[in-house]
Amino acid sequence: MQSKWVKKTGLMAMSAVVLLSVVAGCSGSNASKNDPKSTNAAHGGTETTKGSQKFNLWLGWSATVNNDSLVQKNWKEAEPGIEVVLEATQGDAVTALNLKLNTGGFEDAAVFNRSEIVKAAMIRSNKIMSVEPYFDMPDQYPNLAAIPKEYLDQMKDADGHIWSIPTWFDQNPDNPWPGWASQTWLVRTDVLEKAGMTTADLATIEGVEAYLKKAAEQKDASGKPLIPLSFLMDPNDTATWNDENAVLSTFGVTTGGGIIPAEKKGDDLVLLYDDPQYKVAYQWMNKMYRSNLVDPEVVTDKKERYKEKNKAGRVAMNVGSFFNVDNSIWETLDGPTEPGWFYQVVPFPKVEGVEKLGANTVINPYPGYDVYISKDSKNVEAVLKFLDYSLKPGAEQQQVINEGPEGKYWGWIDQPLGRWNYIDAEYDKARNSGEPAQKAKVTPELYMISSYNNDWYPWWNYGTGDKVGNEKTSEFTAAVGQMGAVRSTQTYDLVKAKTGGLLEKYLPELENIRKEYRAKFIMSKSDEQFEATWLAFRDALEKRGHWTEVKQEWQEQYEVLLKEQG
């Protein structure tokens, strides 16, 4: 989430590689050429070659890094007594990954968003070590041993090896936290009222269109015509996470889930680009664009410019993640003093012929990030000790990793696992300054190297409630979670790319094609041009993305998964 709210997300792309060497005894695992090297001690146990209590962690995403941050100093000087030196990715993550792999790798460890493509590249590089022994050493690493076995079993290769330490998973897979639901339609109620309409009038797509036409007749505070509808086309987004997906959901297209989003329709499983409603949804966006009801700069606007327009009250309605709109524009208010106060989520409008919304958010308790360790690292013990600390079970551990221990920079307002607030004024000022360099002075925001559970989530319980608008974000996400575009993980969401296979090879190109043609769809000048663009898109899927072959391999992998699950 953006702002001081954790996650995403935007999206971290495919990241990096880790070079980690080893030295640790196997406890209950068979050694292989990739296993940690161990020697039997006289007492029948194992000895671990120890490195320094310091290691380098490469982040698989762009970030402002300050290795003197207060949270990192606390890691070094207090618990767990480890110095973590961070390095961020510069530029495109996939390019950076390939460069690292081809130039010797990096120092110790790397963390990045879970990706079968990156995992395969890591394994092929022969620069990382398998880590399965460490999940069977409760005496040394009790919290690694406590990781739910279903997560670890799913990570094993054909030889039983596991190639990363999983992080950012639900500690209770049978009772998962529902997650942040933010893909929605978001209306300015003050503009709606001036249009002589209510939220009930937005129940259908025709009602939305009527509102957009009336909103176009209104002006903002500076006298400029309002932008009827806008959304963010972030160049760093993905097929499963982008603002257009809220429109696609409205037209019945599932975009959340696995490496290729899929949905059961009747007796068939329909993959994303084969859903006929995918085309219909973009035809609607094109229709709105050609009718001057969508921001004419939607294709080129950068994230900060998009946020500025929303903060200034230029936009009458948004579709997509409300975190992209920027939740701070209502969280900082006590009443109707700024346009941000009037934002309100509304249900997905009904489209004729669409019986069920497409899922844009899939509740998945499985790990969202992976830490890879280099065969050549001299600091393996420090990496493992730190991860054993970061993965300590407990609802508040993600908060401890993100903001330090309770009582130092933050504290409970009422009771443990209740509301909380920052208690250090300087920390609070920097943390919530909105300036990346200031925030980096206090925390690297590495919540993703911990885990979570349904007992308590920090950002649903933040603050004293001194600002009335502070409550809106959690209210919004709770409402969106009940609107019908969120579902639980299904077996077909867990299909994995085969190592060296077509999915692994062509998924990046399929993503390139999606990004290339979505802009062309939206900006088509006529129905004829749209149709020609659609045919070119389908041609590119086949010729560049090998879509038919990729689908066949996906189906084969799905059938393998069904057999594995009995």
The structure tokens listed for 292 are 């001057």
**Residue 22 confidence (pLDDT) above 60:** no
Task: Say what the pLDDT of residue 557 is.
Answer: 95
All structural domains of the chain, each given as residue ranges with its CATH number in brackets, are 53-173+367-455 (3.40.190.10), 183-362+469-491 (3.40.190.10)
Better pLDDT: 550 or 91: 550
User: 166 with 369: CB under 8 angstroms?
Assistant: yes
What percent of the chain has a predicted confidence (pLDDT) above 70?
90
**Residue 14 confidence (pLDDT) above 90:** no
Q: How far apart are CA 488 and CA 129, in angstroms?
A: 33
Give SS3 for 103: coil
Span between the terminal Cα atoms of the chain, in Å: 37
Q: How far apart are CA 242 and CA 360, in angstroms?
A: 9
Q: How far apart are CA 456 and CA 384, in angstroms?
A: 26
**Residue 446 confidence (pLDDT) above 50:** yes
Looking at 265-274, 289-298, 467-476, which range is the least confident one?
Answer: 467-476
Task: Say what the pLDDT of residue 464 is.
Answer: 66
- Residue 122 φ/ψ, nearest 5 degrees: -60, -50
Task: Say what the pLDDT of residue 101 is.
Answer: 84
**Residue 51 confidence (pLDDT) above 90:** no
Q: How far apart are CA 261 and CA 337, in angstroms?
A: 41
**Residue 12 confidence (pLDDT) above 70:** no
Task: Say what the pLDDT of residue 11 is.
Answer: 28
User: Which DSSP string do the residues of 479-521 spell out, in sequence order?
Assistant: HHTTSSSEEE--GGGG--PPTTSHHHHHHHHHHHHHHHHHHHH
Q: How far apart are CA 117 and CA 352, in angstroms?
A: 38
Categorize the per-residue pLDDT at 44 as very low, low, confident or very high, splitting at 50, 70 and 90.
very low
Task: Say what the pLDDT of residue 203 is.
Answer: 98
User: 484 with 359: CB under 8 angstroms?
Assistant: no
Task: Say what the pLDDT of residue 307 is.
Answer: 96
Task: Say what the pLDDT of residue 93 is.
Answer: 77
Q: Find how far residue 334's CA is from the centre of its chain.
A: 30
**Residue 42 confidence (pLDDT) above 80:** no
Give SS3 for 140: coil
DSSP state of 45: S
Better pLDDT: 487 or 532: 532
Largest CA distance in the chain: 84
Task: Say what the pLDDT of residue 105 is.
Answer: 87
Burial label, 335 (beta-carbon count in 10 A; 0-12, 13-18, 19+): exposed
**Residue for token pair 């003093």:** 337
What is the per-residue pLDDT across 483-501, written as a single tens digit (0 to 9) for each?
A: 999 988 899 999 989 889 9
Contacts of 55 (CB under 8 A, 6+ apart): 82, 83, 84, 85, 107, 108, 109, 377, 379, 382, 383, 386
Contacts of 515 (CB under 8 A, 6+ apart): 235
Give SS3 for 76: helix
Task: Say what the pLDDT of residue 243 is.
Answer: 97
Task: Say what the pLDDT of residue 531 is.
Answer: 98
**Residue 79 confidence (pLDDT) above 70:** yes
Task: Say what the pLDDT of residue 461 is.
Answer: 84
Q: Which of these, 79, 18, 23, lies nearest to 51 by C-alpha position? A: 23
* Rg value, the chain, Cα: 24
Better pLDDT: 77 or 35: 77
Q: How far apart are CA 308 and CA 262, in angstroms?
A: 35
Better pLDDT: 90 or 200: 200
- HSE, side-chain direction, 13 A CA sphere, residue 421: 11
Task: Say what the pLDDT of residue 465 is.
Answer: 65
Amino acid at 195: A
User: Which DSSP string do the residues of 194-239 spell out, in sequence order?
Assistant: HTT--GGGGSBHHHHHHHHHHHTT-B-TTSPBPEEEE----TT-BT
**Average pLDDT, whole number, for the chain?**
89
- What region does 500 belong to: left with phi over 0, alpha with psi -120 to 50, or beta? left
Number of Cβ within 10 Å of residue 19's Cβ equals: 25
**Residue 561 confidence (pLDDT) above 70:** yes
Looking at 24-33, 89-98, 174-183, 370-379, which range is the least confident one?
Answer: 24-33
Q: How far apart are CA 228 and CA 64, in angstroms?
A: 35
User: Which DSSP string do the residues of 511-526 spell out, in sequence order?
Assistant: HHHHHHHHHHHHH-SS
**Residue 148 confidence (pLDDT) above 60:** yes
Average pLDDT over residues 370-399: 97
Average pLDDT over residues 272-301: 98
Average pLDDT over residues 325-332: 93
User: 320 with 244: CB under 8 angstroms?
Assistant: yes
